[in-house]
Structure 1
């Protein structure tokens, strides 16, 4: 096959008539192998995004890629389509139902395409239950919440947050009282996107009650995309459980668990789903999900990962992540760099590097004057040491003239965590 120019290398090119199948396959294999090497290099510098890159054990499921697997419809109804993994999906759902303390005959749920779909489903259930409800969500919410409010044409109140990223409950109370004649649909964040903070479910429920909202006047969705696998091991924080008056909870599978494709789990009370369920004859199933066709491989990968790790394995991973996060925070502090780490979090915030190439190289997420690193199970001390060496060396270049100084982060992460020239002296 003729050599393609660089710009056409990743284009879809029709096979030539004079090209054999072996030649075509060899050419494609070469491109894929080179891309695999690129991904391996990128994974070794993957610090800012909340996905676990330890995925090698999932290669054991590669033989399933020869099948087109579709879990369309209700996970608890097999239907006439035989190419599905619904038995494995229900096994995953039962595991999460036990984790989040809801009885098997009281819940429904499904494996989603990711955290956004879990939020879409949870907020939809709240809106259908309380059509005139106002959506309340923190300014630290994942961007999907504000997109959902627009999609569903819901009135939305953005709640202020504290420097830690946790919801400002005084502001929640003020805004609840403004709309006390309308039901409340609350999004509680279990691990905020940028700071890894936990909204206190108990305080949210107490605030609703103090404002005069009975349980039939509010709906709570818990967005646990980040920390759904972590909070069961945190004795220092309130439990996120269906034993409390929540309506739904969702988690991402590709984040802490590290499935090699985006996916997630959504659990809700069975009584809540009736409002959106309808029977579809030609798939021989109920339609009670957001998606129609659903990725059957995701359920299999989640099932496989949970069976390999189990709760003890997940707890061991998190404890190591917590140690590594504290190591990174302490090293940044010792180097005189503004930094913050919430007490039981794996998300380390620090000053935003002024060099886009540096940000791109380490794949950092940035917001205003901040950047963050999410310590996932693939992030080793060795990787962090390489990052720290690179950062400290680059800072000597960025700020060597003294004309430009590191940013002040007092407003973003609190004066006590800011190491700028003004607050370091304080």
Structure 2
């Protein structure tokens, strides 16, 4: 294991390098994912008195207080702690610097906002965002530059302020993970999972212009948005109670429309229940229904689980006849801004590519200009964790999800957990304030907790303790009862007064 002081020293040198603002031209950098010390830069300047110890101690809050808001007196301007309750909407307006404002300064407003967010991170259980990462100290200096990755990632820009070297390194890593050769794939770092879905489905539409889009009703809403945007004919496929695609319904609708090609959205981890559509089963159904490989296109929406399943079950692979895969970078891996990765086959991309003389490049993306910071954040996280670190994160999250599920079940609370999932579905808490406090996502009579890498058992224990106590208050009078969610998550998972007699053992 690499010595901690060595890591700190390297981060410190990089920090000083960025701040030095050397007037040198941008050079292509050969990046790889071996060891953290494999990336080096030559430096010819005198470092500041800042030490590795002080750099290592920098956190988002200390960075903000010490560097971003130097004019705020932390002792005098200390915010009143608002407890763990949901943050209130800020009553803000844009200030005119020429006017004498009696209110708080800009820096004070931002520090107050930062303090509120810092309190709320321990109550973030309902949405798939990994908000625990440690690259802010090393990468914060990059915020002083405008980095724009416009055009094709594999073609250089005419300006030097881009991060395509990092972008291609990230793409190569995912191409290897999903088993496609470097000279056989094309991709780019997107602004999020929705953009990846829009791009993948557009590719399918361009390859098969009269194709019908098939997507389960539990697919992400962006899939149906794509159908509306592209004016595509679409079929919504039913799902089983656990959220997985109903393959008999898919088969029936494919046969009904067998005169037209099929564009199929396969969800690797549904948004609310975390169910995984079986790629192999879908491919077998296509074959049985008479669809040859030139008459179907498969897009895999693996927003949350695309970084998990390769370490559990090798279900995502371009060795199978799939067309594209997308993930969200800010979800399981973690990133301060929304981002994603989209990978497709190189032979498909010409259908979208347009030569743009203005940027001296070819563009086949949805967004055109792209955030040049996100590839660096993704590259840094992947390099810091590596496959071994990610595998440990996956195992810990799966174990903690089962831990929460078992505790809920033992407490007599309706709960469901899909295989290979970190999304724990439970009965919807009765109190809206409780839902807001824990930032839960709710659908009908269900809520869910997504056990991300930063979620600890201590947080889950605190959630459980408060939920059990609150339920005693909600249902103490004997006139109100917990909701029946048998139709939503299965009778065997429902602990309502009717179902627990048959399914819940003491």
CA contact (8 A) 1:162 1:168 kept: yes
Residue number in structure 2 paired with 1:141: 219
Q: Structure 2 matches for 1:256-335, cutoff 5 A?
A: 256-335=332-411
- Give the structure-2-normalised TM-score: 0.80
**Whole-Å Cα distance in 1 between the matches of residues 425 and 195 of structure 2?**
27
After superposition, residues 180-191 of structure 1 pair within 5 angstroms as 180-191=258-269
Note closer, same or farther for the CA distance 1:245–1:7 as it changes in structure 2 (3 Å cut).
closer
Q: 1:200 to 1:7 in 2, by over 3 A?
A: closer
**Which runs of 5 or more structure 2 residues have no equivalent in the other structure?**
1-70, 72-76, 78-87
Mapping 1:154-303, distance limit 5 Å: 154-235=232-313, 239-303=315-379
Distance in 2 (alpha carbons) for counterparts of 1:149 and 1:55: 35
Which sections of structure 1, spanning at least 5 residues, go unmatched? none
Are the aligned partners of 2:135 and 2:380 in contact in 1 as well (CA < 8 Å)? no
Aligned partner of residue 47 in structure 1, secondary structure: coil
Aligned counterpart, 2:54: none
Query: Equivalents in 1 of 2:134, 2:227: separation in Å?
Result: 38
Q: 2: CA distance between counterparts of 1:41 and 1:378?
A: 15
Write the deviation string for residues 299-340 of structure 1: whole angstroms up to 9, x where unpaired.
111111100111111111111111110110001001100000
For residues 421 and 81 of structure 1, what CA distance do their matches in structure 2 show?
Answer: 67
C-alpha separation in 2, matches of 1:335 and 1:7: 35
Q: TM-score scaled to structure 1, two decimals? A: 0.95
Moved over 6 A (4+): none
Which one of 105, 109, 129 corresponds to residue 183 of structure 2? Answer: 105
Q: Distance in 2 between matches of 1:8 and 1:362?
A: 20
Q: RMSD between aligned alpha carbons? A: 1.8
Number of residue-to-residue matches in the alignment: 417
Structure of higher CA gyration radius: 2
Partner SS state of residue 123, structure 2:
coil
Q: What is the rounded CA distance, in whole Å, between the counterparts of 1:144 and 1:249 in structure 2?
A: 15
Give the alignment partner of residue 417 of structure 2, picking from 341, 345, 349: 341
The question of whether the paired residues in 1 share the 8 Å contact of 2:425 and 2:448 is answered with: yes
Structure 1 CA distance, aligned partners of 2:139 and 2:267? 33
Q: What is the deviation of 1:79?
A: 2.3
> Is this contact kept in 2: 1:58–1:305, CA < 8 A?
no
The answer on whether the counterparts of 1:81 and 1:283 sit within 8 Å (CA) in structure 2 is no
Given the alignment, which residue of 421, 424, 429 partners 1:353?
429
Post-superposition offset of 1:368 = 1.1
Cα distance in 2, alignment partners of residues 288 and 300 from structure 1: 21
Post-superposition offset of 1:7? 8.8
* Distance across 2 between alignment mates of 1:196 and 1:9: 37
Deviation at 1:17, TM superposition (A): 5.3
CA–CA separation in structure 2 for the residues paired with 1:213 and 1:175: 13
